[in-house]
Structure 1
Amino acid sequence: MLARSGAEESCEEEWAGPRGGWAGRAAGPRSCRAGRALGPRQSPLASAQGGVYRRAASRAGAGPEAAAAPCAGEEPGAGGRAAGGDWGPRRGVPERRRRGRQRLQSRLRAWVRGGSGSARGLRCERAARLLSSPARGCRCCDWVEDGVGRMEILMTVSKFASICTMGANASALEKEIGPEQFPVNEHYFGLVNFGNTCYCNSVLQALYFCRPFREKVLAYKSQPRKKENLLTCLADLFHSIATQKKKVGVIPPKKFITRLRKENELFDNYMQQDAHEFLNYLLNTIADILQEERKQEKQNGRLPNGNIDSENNNNSIPDPTWVHEIFQGTLTNETRCLTCETISSKDEDFLDLSVDVEQNTSITHCLRGFSNTETLCSEYKYYCEECRSKQEAHKRMKVKKLPMILALHLKRFKYMDQLHRYTKLSYRVVFPLELRLFNTSGDATNPDRMYDLVAVVVHCGSGPNRGHYIAIVKSHDFWLLFDDDIVEKIDAQAIEEFYGLTSDISKNSESGYILFYQSRD
C-alpha cells in the first residue's frame, strides 16, 4: 500500500473532518439535511411524497393556501391527491436521489475546484474514495436506498472528477509532448469508466492504437449506414476520437457500453470482467457481423464491389474478414508415432495465443514452452492410422502462419484447488519491444518476420474479479499510459515496471496481461 502524502492527509482532514467537512456534517444525527427536513420520526418516503404532491398542486394552479396546506382528505405528511383529484407525480425516493445528487455535485464542485494542480487531483481521488467507502460513503449518501443508486453516485463522481481534471491533464500532456513533436492527425482521448468498465476501456485503447485495426473500423464507418450493432457502435466511438477538434481530452463510450451490455449478459453488470474474455468476444462478434453482412449481400446477388454473384455459395465456408486478415494465424499440430515414425499434422486457426507463465522468464521462453514436445502414453496413447492401433507418440504445436498483429495472452490466473478460486500469478515475465518467433514450423511462411510491441493491457491487483486494468500504447516514437480517463506520457524504460514481481510473496501487482505485437511488413 502506498503511503499517503501530507497533501492527501490534509485533503482528508478538510473533507472528512468531524465538524468542518461536509461528510462529517452529513453523517451527524442532528445536522444531516435529511434529518432536518424529515424529522426523526417521520417516514422519509411519506414526507417526500407529501411535499411533492403539495408542490404539484401549486403548479396545477391552486392558490398559495392550497399549496401550503395538505389537500382535502389528506393527513399532514401523507401522500394525498393533487388539485383536481389526480395523483401528483410519483417521485418520492427518485426525487430525493436526484436532489441529493445535485447537492453532492455542487459541494464536490466547490471543494475540488478550491484546489489547484496536484491538490485538485488529490481532492477528486479522495472524494471518490469517501463515497466508495462502506464506512463513510454510505453515511455521506444516506439518501441512497440501494446498491444501484450508490453505483450511480460513484459513476457521477467519476465523471465529475474526469471533467474537473480533464483540462489540467490535457494541457499537461500537450505540454509534455510539445506542439512540434505532437503527431499530425493524432488524438489521445481517455475513456470514462461506467462502473468497472476498465477491462473494456483498456482493450479499446489497445485496439485503437493497432493501426491496421483502427483503419478498417474507420473505413467501415464510411460505408452506408447499417442497423446498429456492436461494430457500428465501435466505429462511432473510433470516429468520434479521430475527428475531435482537440488533440487530447476525455470521451464517454456510453453507446458502446450500453450495446455491449445489451448483447451479452456476461457484461450486463457492474462487476469486474476479464479483459481477455472481452477481447475474444469483441473480435469474434465483429467477424460474425462482417460474415453475416457478406452473406446477405450474396443472397441479394450483389458483392461489395458492385458485381453480380451468379454462384450459389450458400453451403461454402465463410470468407475471411479483415479481422482474420489482421489477427488470424495458423497453428500446426504435429503428432509423430514412435513405432512407425509416421507424422500427421492438423492445422488450427487462432486470433490470439494463450501461453503459460513461469517465474523470472521472458515471453520468448513462454512461446518455446508452448511448443514443447509432449509424450502421449498410457491412457493417452495416440491412434496411428498406419499401425491401426494406439501407440505412444510425440505431439507438439508450432506456428505455421504468422499473423499481422500477434496478440499474446499471458495466463496469469490459476485455479487453486485448496482455495477453491482463481489466484493471480504475478511472475516476472519480460516482454521485449522487438520480438521474433522461434517456434515456427518447417513450412511456415515468412518465419523470420519481426514484430514491434505496440500495446499492452496491464492487470493491477490480485485476482481476476478484482483489481484494475490499464493500457500502455506506443504512438509514433513515444509511449502513453491510458488509465480510463487519464492519459500520461511515459518513458520506454517504465515498461519494465509492468513485467511482474520477482518474489512470489506478494500477489498484488501491475503486470502485463495481453500483449499486442505488430509485424513490420
Structure 2
Amino acid sequence: MGTTGSKLEKSLPSSFPDNERIFGLENFGNTCYCNSVLQALYFCLPFREAVLDWARACVNSKVRNDEDSMLVSVAETFLHISSNKKKFGVYGPKKLIQVLRKNNEAFRGYQHQDAHEFMNYLLNQITEELHMEAKELAPHSVDRTPEMPKTWVQNIFEGTLTNETRCLNCETVTNRDEAFLDLSLEIEENSSITSCLRNFSGIETLNKQDKFYCEKCCSLQEAHKSIRVKRTPNILALHLKRFKYVESVGRLKKLSHRVVFPVELKLNNTTDAAADEDAFFNLFAVVVHVGSGMNHGHYVCLIKIHEQWFHFDDDTVEGVDDSHLHSVFGSAQEGGGNYSGYILFYQKVTA
C-alpha cells in the first residue's frame, strides 16, 4: 500500500472501529475505473451488508456458485477484505476483472474505461442475476407474480421519476413513472449540484415538430414537460455528465467545470405527492476523474469512513482532511482543474 498501514493507522481517530478494514485494490492495466467504483460500493454499508448476507446464505442454499457471476466475484472480493486478519492491506480483484471482461465485450482489453458505465453494468447485472436466482429457487411463485419482486440492489439504489406533461390547450396533465438507479445531470460552468438538479427538473416546452399528442384533445398540442423525483432512493447516486461529444473535433471532450456539491443535500425537485419530499442525504463517496480526456485519464475515489475522509488511488490509501473535497469540484477556468468529481454517492438520513 502506498501509505503504509502503520502510518495510516496513526492518522485514524481513536473512535475508529477495530473491525473495519481498509484495503487498496491492485490495478490490472487501466482498471482504476473498476477499483474506484468497487471501493465506493464496499463502503456503501447497505450494499456491503447485503452482499455479505447473500454470500453467507449461499453456503447452505441451492444457489449456484457460478464462476461467471459478477455477484459471486464481488462477494468474494468483499469477503476477502471484511474477514481479513489485517486491518490494512492490498487486494487484487483479478477474478472479478476476468469475469467482467469475459461477460462484457465493452470492457475487454486494457484501454481506459468509463466508471459510470461500469457502475451501471455492475448494478444491473447483479439485479439480473438475483432475478435468475429467484426463478431457480421458487419458479412457480415467481411465474404467478405479475412483475419480478424487487431485489436488494433495487431496494438500496432505486428511486422513481415522474415524467409530467401538461397540455397547453386543455391543461390535462399526463404522468408516467420510471425507475432509476442513478441520475445523470447536465453541468454548467461555476454551478452546483442544487442548480444541476433544478435544471434536471426544468420545464421543457414541446412545440413545432416536438408537439405532444394529447388523448383528450385527440391531436398534437403544445405542452410543458418536466421530470421530478417521486420516490427518493436510500442511496442517491448522481452522475455528472462531464464528457460531451464535440462534432467539430469528432470526439468526446471533458468538461472540467467547477460544480460545487454539499456534504448534506436536500432534493429540490421532488413531486408534491412524494412521501419523503423532505428527505436529507449525506455524502459518503465521490468517484473522481483525473485528466483532461475520457480515453486517457485516471479514476480515484474519496470516501468518508466513520467520520474520516480517505483518498483511494488503486493500491494507495491515505487519510485526508475534509477540505480535500474542495479540490475535486472542478475548475472555474476552462482547461484547468483535472481533478473533477464524477459520481457522487449520498445516503438518506433516517430518523
Could you say which residue in structure 1 is the equivalent of 2:33?
199
Write 1 or 2 for the structure with the bigger share of helix: 1
Alignment of 1:2-13 (within 5 A): none
The 3-state SS of whatever aligns with 2:138 is: helix
Deviation at 1:312, TM superposition (A): 4.6
Task: Evaluate the alpha carbon distance shift between residue 426 and residue 312 of structure 1 in structure 2; reply closer, same or farther with a 3 A threshold.
Answer: closer
Could you say which residue in structure 1 is the equivalent of 2:172?
342
Paired with 1:198 and 1:312, the residues of 2 have a C-alpha distance of 40
Structure of larger gyration radius: 1
Q: How many residues align?
A: 344
Could you say which residue in structure 1 is the equivalent of 2:300?
470
Paired with 2:233 and 2:58, the residues of 1 have a C-alpha distance of 29
String of CA shifts for 1:470-519, please: whole Å, max 9, x gaps: 00001011100100000000011110000000101x25610100000000
Task: Give the TM-score of the pair, scaled to structure 2.
Answer: 0.96
Deviation at 1:224, TM superposition (A): 2.4
Alignment of 1:253-402 (within 5 A): 253-299=93-139, 309=141, 312-313=143-144, 316-402=146-232
Task: Evaluate the alpha carbon distance shift between residue 379 and residue 470 of structure 1 in structure 2; reply closer, same or farther with a 3 A threshold.
Answer: same
Check the 8 A contact 1:424/1:507 in 2, yes or no: no
Check the 8 A contact 2:162/2:230 in 1, yes or no: yes
Residue from 427, 432, 441 that aligns with 2:257: 427
String of CA shifts for 1:366-408, please: whole Å, max 9, x gaps: 0000000000000100111111100100000000000000000
Give the gaps of 5 or more residues in structure 2: 60-64
Report % sequence identity: 53
Higher-RCO chain (CA-CA 8 Å, sequence separation at least 6):
2
Give the gaps of 5 or more residues in structure 1: 1-161, 302-308
Alignment of 1:40-189 (within 5 A): 165=2, 169-177=4-12, 180-189=14-23
Check the 8 A contact 2:289/2:297 in 1, yes or no: yes
Task: Give the TM-score of the pair, scaled to structure 1.
Answer: 0.65
The 3-state SS of whatever aligns with 2:331 is: coil
What's the RMSD between the two structures over aligned residues? 1.3
Instruction: Give the counterpart letter for 1:227 in structure 2.
Output: D
Deviation at 1:297, TM superposition (A): 1.4
Instruction: Give the counterpart letter for 1:510 in structure 2.
Output: Y
The 3-state SS of whatever aligns with 2:273 is: strand
Instruction: Give the counterpart letter for 2:260 in structure 1.
Output: V
The 3-state SS of whatever aligns with 1:182 is: coil
The 3-state SS of whatever aligns with 2:54 is: helix
Deviation at 1:227, TM superposition (A): 2.2
Could you say which residue in structure 2 is the equivalent of 1:513?
342
The 3-state SS of whatever aligns with 2:226 is: strand
Check the 8 A contact 1:425/1:507 in 2, yes or no: no
The 3-state SS of whatever aligns with 2:150 is: coil
The 3-state SS of whatever aligns with 2:248 is: coil
Write 1 or 2 for the structure with the bigger share of strand: 2
Could you say which residue in structure 1 is the equivalent of 2:276?
446
Paired with 1:472 and 1:295, the residues of 2 have a C-alpha distance of 38
Instruction: Give the counterpart letter for 1:177 in structure 2.
Output: L
The 3-state SS of whatever aligns with 1:435 is: strand
Could you say which residue in structure 2 is the equivalent of 1:500?
330
Instruction: Give the counterpart letter for 1:360 in structure 2.
Output: N
